[in-house]
Amino acid sequence: MKQFFKWLLMIILTIGLGLLLLVQGMAFVSLLLHVGQLLSGPLLMGVLVTFVGIGVGLGLYLQRKWFRERQILSTQGFATIFGFLFTIVLVVSVIFYEPVLQAVGDYLVINQRVENKADLIWILGSADERYIHGIDLYEQGLGDRVIMTMGRRFVPKLLQTETIQTNIDVILRYVLDKGLVEGIDFFIYPAESTYDEAAQARDFLNQSNLNSIIVVSSPGHMRRVEMIFNHLIDDSKELTFVSVPLGRSDFDYQWWKDEFSQGRVIYEYLSLVFYYFRYVIF
């Protein structure tokens, strides 16, 4: 039994190191994007697989150090076999990178069908495309009223006027031009993070005794949105997650070909890890 737990611990360690190095690989890609270096699909896949391989290799090496008395292969033989298998995996992943990367991007996108009219449409802040799509849903009669969350930031000086100074002014003008009345049809709440938005939505639903809400955001953002909203809001509330359609969003379906989308995917996976350990577990 003791030996079993040793092996189990080492398997967990090996997988954990592989995932940890994968996160490091994504951080490396993010750094390259910050300096204006967009990796092609095959190269991106190769970099990520290499980082995972380093983590797995390190885990297997530590396992060999721990179980010296049970080694079958010499160190040289082990390194040869591992190098051979890693090379095969690397080559195959680089050749067939597209379906793998497509699945990685698809995992982030959640777009549920709206079955019934909701009590509230909650539009998450930051991207203009979210407000446009959320207001469209309201005009289609899918929600009784709208809440928009956003941080306050100034628009470029060349676009500023007496009435337009911040992003809030821009969105407010857009919504008012649509004929909606502030304080009746829609409300604007300040928010600085997805967690902050989900916490505000939870409090608003509880205080208002509302039961259903449509949550609107960008395609690549929706997996994290679903995770944190479902974590904070109890199951008695009906949540529907609706993303901006891919054709209307800045997010590219083939995300590895576009600098913005590649950065978005890397950022979202890193954020998923952070949110999961920061808010869901702890």
The residue from 95, 111, 143 where one domain ends is: 95
Is the domain of 33 the same as that of 146?
A: no
Calpha distance 210→212 (Å, rounded): 6
The whole-number mean pLDDT for each consecutive block of 10 residues of the chain, a chain of 282 residues, reads 74 91 96 95 97 93 73 74 94 96 96 94 93 96 95 83 86 92 93 94 92 96 97 94 94 94 96 94 81
In the structure encoding, which two tokens stand for residue 104, read together? 């990685």
Per-residue pLDDT at 154:
83
Per-residue pLDDT at 115:
87
Is the domain of 196 the same as that of 246?
A: yes
Is the domain of 7 the same as that of 83?
A: yes
Tell me, yes or no, whether 27 lies in a domain.
Answer: yes
Burial (0-12, 13-18, 19+ Cβ within 10 Å), 75: exposed
In this structure, the chain runs to a length of 282
Is the domain of 74 the same as that of 129?
A: no
Per-residue pLDDT at 124:
97
∠149-133-236 over CA atoms, to 5°?
60
Number of domains in the chain: 2
The residue from 61, 95, 129 where one domain ends is: 95
Q: Give the chain's radius of gyration (CA, Å).
A: 24
CATH number of the domain where residue 240 is located: 3.40.50.620
* Structural contact between residues 132 and 171, judged by C-beta atoms closer than 8 angstroms: no
Is the domain of 225 the same as that of 126?
A: yes
pTM of the model: 0.90
Is the domain of 193 the same as that of 245?
A: yes
Tell me, yes or no, whether 105 lies in a domain.
Answer: no
Which tens digit of pLDDT belongs to each residue from 12-56? Answer: 889 999 999 999 999 999 999 999 999 999 999 999 999 999 999
In the structure encoding, which two tokens stand for residue 156, read together? 């470029």
Calpha distance 41→222 (Å, rounded): 23
Structural domain boundaries enclosing 235: 120-251
User: What is the arrangement of strands in the sheet containing 186-190, beginning at the earlier edge strand?
Assistant: 186-190, 146-150, 120-123, 212-217, 238-243
